[in-house]
Amino acid sequence: MLRVENLTFAHPGQATPYVFSFVADSGEITAISGVSGSGKSTLLDLLAGFLEPTGGTVALDGRDLLPLPPEARPVSLLLQSESLFDHLSAARNIALGLPSRTEKAQTLQRVADALAEVGLEGLGDQQAATLSGGQKQRVALARTLLRARPILLLDEPFSALDDETRSVIRDLVRTLTTRHGWHTILVSHHADDVEALANRRYVLESRRLSPSGETKK
Amino acid sequence: MLTLPHRPLRIAAAITLAAAIAALIALVLWAILAAATGSGSSASRIDIPHLLRMTSIQAGLTTVLSLAVGTALAWSLNRLRFPGRDLVVGLFASAIVTPGMVVAFGLLSIWGRNGWINQLSEALFGVSIGNPAFGLSGILFAHVILDGAFAARILLARLDAIPAARLKTGQSLGLTAWQRFAIIDWPTLRGTMPGLAAIIFLLAFTSFPIVLLLGGGPANQTLEVAIYAAVRQDFDLAGAVRLAATQIAVCSAVILAASAMGPIPTSLGTSAAPRWRDAAPARLLQALVLALCILGFALPLLSVLFDGLASGLGSLLARPAFWWAAASSLLIGAASAILTLVLAMLLAMGRGATADGPLRTLLGMPAYAYLAVPAIVLSLGFFLLVRQLGIAPATAAPFVVILANSLLALPFAMATLGPPLEAIARSRGKLIRSLGLSGWRQFAAVECPLLGRDIGVMLALAFCFSLGDLGVIALFGTQDFQTLPLMMFRALGSYRSNDASAIAAILLIGTIIAFVGLPRLVERIANAAR
Ligand SMILES: Nc1ncnc2c1ncn2[C@@H]1O[C@H](COP(=O)(O)OP(=O)(O)OP(=O)(O)O)[C@@H](O)[C@H]1O
Ligand SMILES: [Mg+2]
């Protein structure tokens, strides 16, 4: 279980700090909604280690994550865009999720498996710049698979996609989260994303998170 | 934000390097100062106030004219679309690497006493137009050709980067050509002007080969040429040192003023698609400006090619001394290009890896070293230093020439590599960091392929600078150790103008090949490695 308690932070010039508290379970999607500018991306930056909080705790199964630098945190990121390096092929992008010492044959095999798991068999050689928005998000998810980090942070990952692609990627996130036991934190201001996916919901308002709606399993 | 990948090694390497360069410059300055105090102020014919006045007038005029020409040219190129436009843009971009000697020589052959224009005018009207390629007018002409084109290339990049939305708004408001320039273009260009003006002023203030060739004696010297004359002709070291100190003081003041006014963008942008054509009279003016600029820029170069290939090439190629000089030029060019790449890469990577303001300033400093301590001064300092260490200048010469040329190319190299490296760190820093990529992987998978073309451009710049250099080699060259520019200069001095024009043509061809070919070659290599 990911437990965040009184995680405190203020951007320069902000008089009242954000104070975040919430819990997220393994294999579940925890949705966080809130109006634009309410601080959703700030929360994800704190969890990923890009911002340093002034107080509070973040613990995964009792282990304190705050002392870890971003690269050492058990966290994968999926942003709205810029999750891939456009100049590399899909396969090279995915392979960046493996340690650099990984054997070539093993790398090829695992990349192919990951591509298959996200439904992109055979697209490995295509350059990332030429992939469609939905394909890019799948490639990024495939890399997340190889990294096998228990926390997945999603910042508006569906907002650049059309309705049909959206629901396909949504299903993929759902499946992968359950299958791999991820703690998935989804930030979105689309009510239907939240409706379709969330096991647990919070609303970010006045710099605080409050539980909303019922918890479904 | 902690979004920059954590790279202590890169930062440490860059700091070490910056410190080493600072120490080297300090050593050079110390050698100059020591020589100055050691030799006392003997009777010297050097009139520093006069030199300062003349040089400032020349550099000031060059700056104003070059900015005016550059703005007009950039404006025309930004508006006009025609087949071969990329080629023309490339032509003007090459101004930055065209050796000053070659341009000066081309000007003489068109506008000089025995130039085409005079011959034409005498044949048609029986009158001579004199020699506008000589003296102040000649110097200004040559400087404006080179620096105007340089300014145009940088200003054009700014104009081409104006957001499409702003243009659409302007177009829907029906702005006239003049309003468009005043409301949309000028605010974009204005920020670039002070930095650009400072660079052009410094280039003109420290100009060496053009002034040496076209100046025609003490009336139009720059400090740089005066230093050379003091060392090589009058053996007046004390005088040379006083000149060097003056030069450093003025250049540092200009740099300080310029750096207070903002950054100097030097990266080459790409052109946007055509969207909005001005009214017919404005387009006519643009075509006229462009035609004049192409003529002014290309004619001297074409005449260098024509003269050089028509005369004396055969006899030059038959001389072993030519091949030795050519080999020296190539080796020195290649070595200093590679050294520049290593220095600039280390400094720029270190700088891109930190968000700490003062540290970034510190790591940016080596780029300015050359502008404050120009070729001749650097060369003089090394010359004195080498003598003081008891090494024969001839032994040290190749190494000093390579090192000095690398330092000279460094500001342009850092301006080429710095922005893309920083852009990668800023836009993909989060991703690189959260993936935990090692520094080497960041370099091999991300930076190297993305920078392929920039690295090629940088290598070409450094190679061409060094290929065309006369300022450093002028003090260190000997009978046995000469480069093509020095050989050309000596040929001119002994009235072997056939040899000189042949060498000028070869230098020009070498420059073009390197400038066009190297970026493509390196980009291909970088892409193949993907
Ligand atoms: N580096 C910063 N310095 C100062 N203020 C910042 C900084 N980054 C964000 N903010 C402010 O913090 C607040 C929260 O920003 P944040 O990006 O977290 O919002 P968000 O909920 O993700 O919004 P959106 O839905 O539009 O993405 C905003 O008011 C923003 O202006
Ligand atoms: Mg946001």
Q: With respect to residue B86, please indicate whether it lies within any of the assigned structural domains.
A: yes
Give the C-alpha separation, B489 to B499, whole Å.
10
- Whether pLDDT at B100 is above 70: yes
pLDDT of residue B261: 58
Q: Do A96 and B435 touch (CB under 8 A)?
A: yes
ipTM over 0.85: no
Q: What CATH number has the domain bearing residue B245?
A: 1.10.3720.10
Distance A67 CA to ligand 2 centre (A): 24
The answer to whether B508 and B431 are in contact (CB under 8 A) is no
Q: Centre a 10 Å sphere on the Cβ of residue A138 and count the other Cβ atoms it contains.
A: 24
Q: Which of B271, B67, B265 is nearest to B154 (CA)?
A: B265
Q: Which residue of A has its CA nearest to B2?
A: A50
Q: Which amino acid is at B191?
A: G
pLDDT mean over B443-456: 84
pLDDT of res. B359: 81
Ligand 1 mean position, distance from CA A202 (Å): 18
From the CA of B1, which ligand is nearest?
1
Portion of chain A with pLDDT greater than 90, in percent:
51
The answer to whether position B160 is within a domain reads yes
Dist. CA B364–CA B332, nearest whole Å: 25
Ligand 1 environment, Cβ below 6 A: A 11-13, 34, 36-42, 189
The pLDDT of residue B331: 94
Q: Is the pLDDT of residue B270 over 50?
A: no
Residue in chain B nearest A76 by alpha carbon = B434
Residue-wise pLDDT for B302-342, tens only, equals 988 888 888 778 888 888 888 999 999 999 999 999 999 99
Atom 7 in ligand 1: residue holding the nearest Cα: A11
pLDDT of residue B267: 40
Give B263's contacts (C-beta < 8 A, 6+ positions apart). Answer: B195
Please indicate, yes or no, if residue B38 is contained in any of the structural domains: no
Q: Which domain holds residue B461?
A: 8-29+54-300+308-529
Q: Are strands A183-187 and A151-155 parallel, antiparallel or unpaired?
A: parallel
Q: Ligand 2 center to residue A39 CA distance, Å?
A: 7
Given the CA of residue A45, which atom of ligand 1 is nearest to it? 18
Give the closest-approach CA distance of A51 to chain B in angstroms. Answer: 5
Report the separation in Å between the CA atom of A43 and the middle of ligand 1, taken as the mean of its atom positions: 10
Q: Which residue has the tokens 């003049």?
A: B178
Q: Which of B92-101, B190-199, B256-265 has the lowest mean pLDDT?
A: B256-265
State percent of chain B over pLDDT 90: 15
Q: Report which of A141, A143, A182, A135 is spatially closest to residue A161, judged by C-alpha positions.
A: A135
User: φ, ψ for residue B327 (rounded to 5)?
Assistant: -65, -45
Contact, B51 vs B223, CB < 8 A?
A: yes
Where do runs of H (alpha helix) occur along A80-201?
90-95, 104-117, 133-147, 163-180, 191-197
From residue A176, give the alpha-carbon distance in Å to each of A46, A77, A141, B6, B180: 24, 14, 9, 31, 54
CB contact at 8 A, B147 and B67: no
Of A81-90, A132-141, B16-25, B52-61, give the lowest mean pLDDT range: A81-90
| Chain B residue numbers touching A89 (CB-CB < 8 A) | 530
Q: Is B45 part of any domain? A: no
For residue B156, CA distances in Å to B77, B87, B149, B182, B281 come to 7, 14, 10, 16, 21
Q: For a substitution probing ligand 1, which of A18, A40, A46, A203 has the most ligand atoms within 8 Å of its CB?
A: A40
Report the C-alpha gap between B367 and B375 in whole angstroms: 14
Element (H, E) at B239: helix B237-260
Half-sphere exposure of A47 (CA within 13 A, CB side): 32
Q: Is the pLDDT of residue B273 over 80?
A: no
Which atom of ligand 1 is nearest the CA belonging to A40? Answer: 21
Average pLDDT over residues B66-85: 92
- Pairwise CA distance, residues B312 & B331, whole Å: 25
Residue B263 clears pLDDT 70, i.e. is over it? no
What is the structure's pLDDT at B271? 39
Is residue B471, in this structure, part of any structural domain at all? yes
Q: Could you tell me if B24 and B369 are in contact, meaning their C-beta atoms sit under 8 angstroms apart?
A: no
The total number of structural domains in chain B stands at 1
B41 part of a folded domain: no
> Do A49 and A69 contact (CB within 8 A), yes or no?
yes
Closest residue in A to B528 (Cα–Cα): A88
Å between A200 CA and nearest CA of chain B: 25
Is residue B117 pLDDT above 70, yes or no? yes
The two tokens of residue B356 are 């700490």
Q: How confident is the model at residue B266 (pLDDT cuts 50, 70, 90)?
A: very low
Distances from the Cα of A210 to the Cα of A19, B379, B406, angstroms: 11, 70, 61
Dist CA B461 CA B42 (whole Å) = 41
Enumerate the residues of chain B whose CB falls inside 8 A of the CB of residue A144: none
Interchain contact, B431 vs A82, CB within 8 Å:
yes
How far is the C-alpha of A140 from the C-alpha of A86, rounded, in Å?
12
Which alpha helices (DSSP H) does chain A contain, by range?
40-48, 90-95, 104-117, 133-147, 163-180, 191-197
Burial track B114-138 (b if 16+ CB lie within 10 A, e otherwise)? ebebbeeeeeeeeeeeebbbbebeb
Best of A35, A42, A193 for a ligand 1 pocket test (most atoms within 8 Å of beta carbon): A42
User: Which ligand 1 atom is at minimum distance from the Cα of A39?
Assistant: 18
Q: What type of residue sits at position B41? A: S
Is the whole-model pTM more than 0.90?
no
Question: Which of A38, A47, A158, A193 should be mutated for ligand 1, with most atoms under 8 A from CB?
Answer: A38
Token pair of B131 as six digits:
């020699």
Cβ–Cβ gap B434/A87 under 8 Å: no
What's the gap in Å between the CA of A185 and the closest CA on chain B?
16
Contact B434 A73 (CB under 8 A): yes
Q: What is the pLDDT of residues A163-193, one digit of tens each?
A: 888 888 899 999 999 999 999 999 988 888 8
Whether the predicted pLDDT of B423 surpasses 90 = no
What CA–CA distance (Å, rounded) separates B518 from A205? Answer: 56
Phi then psi dihedrals of residue B395, to 5 deg:
-70, -45
Tell which atom from ligand 1 comes closest to the C-alpha of A43. 18
Dist. CA A207 → ligand 2 center (Å): 14
State phi, psi for B137 to the nearest 5 degrees: -60, -40
Rounded to whole angstroms, how far apart are CA atoms B241 and B124?
A: 51
C-alpha–C-alpha distance, residues B476 and B17, integer Å: 25
Considering only CB atoms, which chain B residues are within 8 Å of A48? Answer: 430, 434
| Pairs of residues, one from chain A and one from chain B, whose beta carbons lie less than 8 Å apart | 67
**Most confident residue range from B161-170, B372-381, B513-522:** B513-522
Looking up tokens 């190319």 gives: B409
Q: Which residue of B has its CA nearest to A146?
A: B435
pLDDT at A184: 96
Instruction: Give the model's confidence band at A209: pLDDT under 50 very low, under 70 low, under 90 confident, else very high.
Output: very high
Q: Report which DSSP code applies to A127.
A: B
Q: What are residue A186's DSSP bridge partners?
A: A31, A154
The chain-wide mean pLDDT, for chain B, equals 82
Residue B286 lies in a domain: yes
Pairing of strands A63-64, A55-60: antiparallel
Closest Cα to atom 18 of ligand 1: A39
The secondary element (H helix, E strand) that includes residue B31 is helix B8-39
| CA atoms within 13 A of residue B453's CA, in its CB half-sphere | 8
With an 8 Å Cβ cutoff, the interface of chain B facing chain A consists of 1-3, 5-6, 427-428, 430-431, 433-438, 440-441, 445-446, 449-450, 530
Interchain CB contact of A83 with B (< 8 Å)? yes
Does B1 sit within 8 Å of A82, measured CB to CB? Answer: no
Q: Which fold has domain A1-74+150-217?
A: Rossmann fold (3.40.50)
- CB B430 to CB A79 under 8 A? yes
Query: Which atom number of ligand 1 is nearest to the Cα of residue A42?
Result: 18
Decide if B436 and A76 are in contact by the 8 Å CB cutoff: no
**Mean pLDDT score across all residues of chain A:** 89
Residue pointed to by tokens 């053009």: B210
Contact residues on chain B for A137, CB-CB shorter than 8 A = none
How far apart, in whole angstroms, are the C-alpha atoms of residue A162 and residue B148?
50
Residue B199 lies in a domain: yes
The number of beta carbons lying within 10 Å of the beta carbon of residue B236 is 21
Predicted pLDDT of residue B75: 94
- Checking A206-213 for CB contacts under 8 A at 24+ apart, the result is A207/A16, A207/A17, A207/A18, A207/A19, A207/A38, A207/A39, A208/A18, A208/A19, A208/A20, A209/A20, A209/A21, A209/A22, A209/A32, A209/A43, A211/A22, A212/A33
